[in-house]
Structure 1
Amino acid sequence: MAFKVLKPGMLTLLQDLGRHGYQHLGVTSGGPMDEVAFRWGNALLDNPDNSPQLEITFGMLSLEATQPTSIAIVGADLEATINGEAAMPWQTYEIKAGDVIHFQQSKFGLRAYLAVKGGFLAAPVLGSVATVMRESLGGFDGKGSKVQKGDLLPFHATSNHTPRHLPRLAIPNYEQVEIDVVTGYQYARFSGLDRARFFNSDYTLSQNCDRMGYRLEGQAVGQDQPGIISEGIAYGAIQIPSDGNPIVLLKDRQTIGGYPKIGCVTSISGGLLAQKKPGDKIGFRFMTIDQAERERHLQMSRINQWR
């Protein structure tokens, strides 16, 4: 009772909501780069929030079902097909034994999620199956391996299927270029000119973008800032290295760092940023902590109410 991997794609990883409570030991959280899409994938199938899914980056994944099940595809539009028929994201599909699911290249966004009824089956490591390749943790083998050709991805077979799709108004706007930022205690160290440049400039995503972080290119800020004593790093932290080009740290970030931080991307905007590709342009928008908390509560409430 599994999907057989015909083509592994450029980067396909098993993810749940992450490995929490171990950062003091140097273990990062991992988890889905686009948490909102991930949560909607499980909601569409009535799965528990933490049920493991496949995170498919760039596409080119092909799977063959060995048993019937129900799936949901959410996140980026990677031009998915089921037996050659188009399968749009943000809805569920009935899968029968022998069906082939194929993800092509990115049409819109960067990362899609494939959820299966009941979640994919894997043994947790430190309480999570989230794949962090750098730390050799999680995944189907427990060693942080990405999905490979010939792998069998197990799930519990089911013939029960409920057709569902997400209302258009609930679908995230991946065209949004404004990324919301909450400033932190080191913000005061930056000059007024640097602050103005940061919030009024466009930045381009460089080729150095991965699950660890996104390096940006554009108006340099804070080049006169001295280093700091290494300290813990939160999800979304925006480090300013000596060249002045911001680095946004994401799910597979290192646990400590010694660059000053001008602020932190909100959890909701972090998911939008994770759908951007190298060469895309973004801008930063100031948000208070209260506004960020309300935004997250609103998004989680939408999902819970829809359930």
Structure 2
Amino acid sequence: MKRLQVEASTALCQLQDAGRFGVRHLGVTQGGALDWVAMQWANWLLGNALTAPVIEVALGGFALLAEDDCVLALAGADLQAHVDDQPVRPWRSFRVSAGQRLTLKQPSQGVRAYLAAPGGWLAESVLGSCATVMREALGGVDGQGTALGKGQRLGFVGGTPALREVPTALRPSCEAKPVLDLVMGAQLGDFSGLSVFDVFNRDWTLDSRADRMGIRLLGPELVYQGTPMISEGIALGAVQVPADGQPIVLLNDRQTIGGYPRLGALAPLALAQLAQCMPGSKVRFRPVVQEQAWQQHQAYLERWR
């Protein structure tokens, strides 16, 4: 086993994988990497299973000291990573020698970076996943749902793969104002005509009130005209509209049921884009139907086959 020790961390530095499935009937949420695309590329760089555990680092503030020589991989946001005083760009694997320090600082582009180790980071599986969900005290290295903390030791048992990088043409872009595909559905037709127009023709600003459960959007007030709802199951990416008329995009750590009307749900690729948007940035929605979103998703997955 090879090990690294955490020298600096925040509550936003967590162990994640693809998420926890088949347990929502128990009231247990999904968890998992918010930017699933970057997570999979980080694992691809090392020849791992694409869903192997990675470290999700949001907004920097993370440092590791290597106890052994190793090869790691980084994908997603550019958090000005350095090995000692040498910069490390994302979307590639790199070597770290025993005694060297890997640091991830403030973002210069994007929000979340994903750090992978050969074979995946070792962690206890809880309900089929090591995904950290702090609210439910599930997952993480110790299975108790805690973020990575200073002094904690992380291990992996993979080999020493050859260095590689993601081709430039395949790297997701961090657009200044991304257009997010919204699969229409749920109660969209029960909003006023002006509200439906505004959803797809106005800018929406990401509020600072955002976490792994959901992101509030600020913009024109949306008016729901339908009847009161009974609580329903909540899908990943669901865009619900509470009484103040400001949408909330529900993410991996969302509640399992809810009674607010919904415009629909973001497509998987749109969720990965949203995960890299800073508070205060602007986005727009583009309407798509389920079949279209499914075809786009399958076409993207072909890149790894």
Q: What TM-score, normalized to structure 2?
A: 0.97
What residue number does 1:37 align with? 38
Task: Quote how far apart the aligned CAs of 1:154 are.
Answer: 1.3
8 Å contact 1:69–1:157 — kept in the other structure? no
Aligned to 1:285, the other structure's residue is in SS state strand
Cα distance in 2 between the residues matched to 1:151 and 1:10:
14
Cα distance in 2 between the residues matched to 1:11 and 1:238:
23
Aligned to 1:148, the other structure's residue is in SS state coil
How do residues 257-296 of structure 1 correspond to structure 2 at under 5 angstroms? 257-296=258-297
8 Å contact 2:39–2:51 — kept in the other structure? no
Q: Choose 87-96 or 169-178, whichever is displaced more.
A: 169-178
What residue number does 1:229 align with? 230
* One-letter amino acid matched to 1:165: E
Task: Quote how far apart the aligned CAs of 1:191 are.
Answer: 2.4
Once superposed, which parts of structure 1, at least 4 consecutive aligned residues long, lie more than 3 Å away? Answer: 223-227
Q: Is structure 2 residue 55 aligned with structure 1 residue 61?
A: no
Q: Aligned-residue CA RMSD in angstroms? A: 1.2
Task: Quote how far apart the aligned CAs of 1:100 are.
Answer: 0.8
Cα distance in 2 between the residues matched to 1:111 and 1:226:
39
* One-letter amino acid matched to 1:115: A
Q: Structure 1, residues 219-263: CA drift from partner, whole Å, max 9, x if none?
A: 111254553111100000000111110000000000000100011
* One-letter amino acid matched to 2:21: H
Cα distance in 1 between the residues matched to 2:22 and 2:248:
24
Task: Quote how far apart the aligned CAs of 1:19 are.
Answer: 0.4
* One-letter amino acid matched to 1:196: F
Cα distance in 2 between the residues matched to 1:11 and 1:185:
32
8 Å contact 2:192–2:225 — kept in the other structure? no
The unaligned stretches of length 5 or more in structure 2 are none
Aligned residues: 303
8 Å contact 2:206–2:281 — kept in the other structure? yes
Aligned to 2:49, the other structure's residue is in SS state coil
Q: Is structure 2 residue 178 aligned with structure 1 residue 177?
A: yes
Cα distance in 2 between the residues matched to 1:21 and 1:113:
25
Cα distance in 2 between the residues matched to 1:278 and 1:25:
32
* One-letter amino acid matched to 1:162: A
Cα distance in 1 between the residues matched to 2:201 and 2:162:
47
Q: What TM-score, normalized to structure 1?
A: 0.96
Aligned to 2:217, the other structure's residue is in SS state strand
Q: Structure 1, residues 169-188: CA drift from partner, whole Å, max 9, x if none?
A: 10111115111100113222
What residue number does 1:168 align with? 168
Cα distance in 2 between the residues matched to 1:185 and 1:140:
37
Aligned to 2:121, the other structure's residue is in SS state coil
Task: Quote how far apart the aligned CAs of 1:2 are.
Answer: 1.4
Task: Quote how far apart the aligned CAs of 1:162 are.
Answer: 0.9
* One-letter amino acid matched to 1:257: G
Q: Structure 1, residues 262-302: CA drift from partner, whole Å, max 9, x if none?
A: 11111110010011111001111111212111111111111
8 Å contact 1:67–1:157 — kept in the other structure? no
Aligned to 2:242, the other structure's residue is in SS state coil
How do residues 15-164 of structure 1 correspond to structure 2 at under 5 angstroms? 15-156=16-157, 158=159, 160-164=160-164
The unaligned stretches of length 5 or more in structure 1 are none
What residue number does 2:190 align with? 189
* One-letter amino acid matched to 1:29: Q
Q: Structure 1, residues 37-60: CA drift from partner, whole Å, max 9, x if none?
A: 101111111001221000000001
* One-letter amino acid matched to 2:107: S
